[in-house]
Amino acid sequence: MKKVKLNNIAIFVLFITSYIPLFGLLILRQIKQNIDYLNFGGISQESIFLAFRKFGLSGFLLLVAVFGYIGLKFLLTNLDTKKSNGELVKIVDVENKNNESISYISTYIVPFIFQDTNNFFEITSIFIILIIIFFIYTKSNMIVINPILNITHTLYQIDYNKKNQTKKALLITKEEDLESGQEIKINLITKNIYYG
């Protein structure tokens, strides 16, 4: 079985897309806080500076979210094209892990919603925490815990037979009803995480 390795950009894209709900909420919060400034006052240095100060975070987060979403589409298309090269295994035991995304949202997204988007210190603290979470995220199996990915794909914890040995893995798949005894082709994308 040929390993389909995730490069750093793919890991970054998975991280960004897991925070798209937060980015959307922060954009809406900043717009709500600065609704009085949402009118066209002409183009001048002062108006550009004011727009950047009041809506710069929203613009940046929107660009990052679009980059992440497009990157995720490319990543999934790439993984789908290599799916047929996978190794055929028989599922021994299966457990749906999509509920991990709910925990992820409540733990890593909800606390940020109440930050003041006009306060430079609070915005800086959000980015520092996101950077720390990114490094933890890339060193663990958290890359598959992604609410946006879970809209179209399902995350399973599986036990499977390979050469008369039972092994455990996390599996990302479009299959909604994976069952014990079913055979499926899987590709290793990173340590102990498969796509099939």
According to the model, what pLDDT value does residue 12 have? 87
Strand-pairing partners, residue 88, are: 185
170 falls within a domain: no
146 falls within a domain: yes
> Which residues constitute the domain of residue 146?
8-86+98-151
Highest mean pLDDT among 61-75, 96-110, 153-167: 61-75
According to the model, what pLDDT value does residue 154 have? 85
Q: What is the mean pLDDT of the segment spanning 60-71?
A: 93
pTM of this prediction?
0.80
According to the model, what pLDDT value does residue 65 have? 93
CA angle 183, 187, 189 (to 5 degrees): 145
Question: Per-residue pLDDT tens for 111-139?
Answer: 666 677 777 888 888 888 888 888 887 77
The whole-angstrom separation of Cα 87 and Cα 82 is 11
159 falls within a domain: no
The whole-angstrom separation of Cα 175 and Cα 184 is 10
Tally of domains in the chain:
1
- Give the pLDDT band (50/70/90) at residue 143: confident
Does 2 have pLDDT greater than 60? Answer: no
144 falls within a domain: yes
Q: What is the mean pLDDT of the segment spanning 98-118?
A: 69
According to the model, what pLDDT value does residue 43 have? 81
According to the model, what pLDDT value does residue 40 have? 74
Share of the chain above pLDDT 70, in %: 89
Question: Per-residue pLDDT tens for 28-44?
Answer: 888 888 888 877 777 88
- Give the pLDDT band (50/70/90) at residue 104: low
Does 4 have pLDDT greater than 60? Answer: no
The whole-angstrom separation of Cα 188 and Cα 85 is 11
Does 1 have pLDDT greater than 50? Answer: no
3 falls within a domain: no
Question: Per-residue pLDDT tens for 68-89?
Answer: 999 999 988 888 887 777 788 8
196 falls within a domain: no
Q: What is the mean pLDDT of the segment spanning 87-107?
A: 77
Those residues with Cβ within 8 angstroms of residue 17's Cβ, 6 or more apart along the chain or in another chain = 68, 69, 71, 72, 146, 148, 149
186 falls within a domain: no
Amino acid symbol at 105: I
185 falls within a domain: no
The whole-angstrom separation of Cα 161 and Cα 26 is 45
Q: What is the mean pLDDT of the segment spanning 98-104?
A: 70
How many other β-carbons are positioned within 10 Å of the β-carbon of residue 33?
A: 13
Q: 100: which 2 tokens?
A: 């991990």
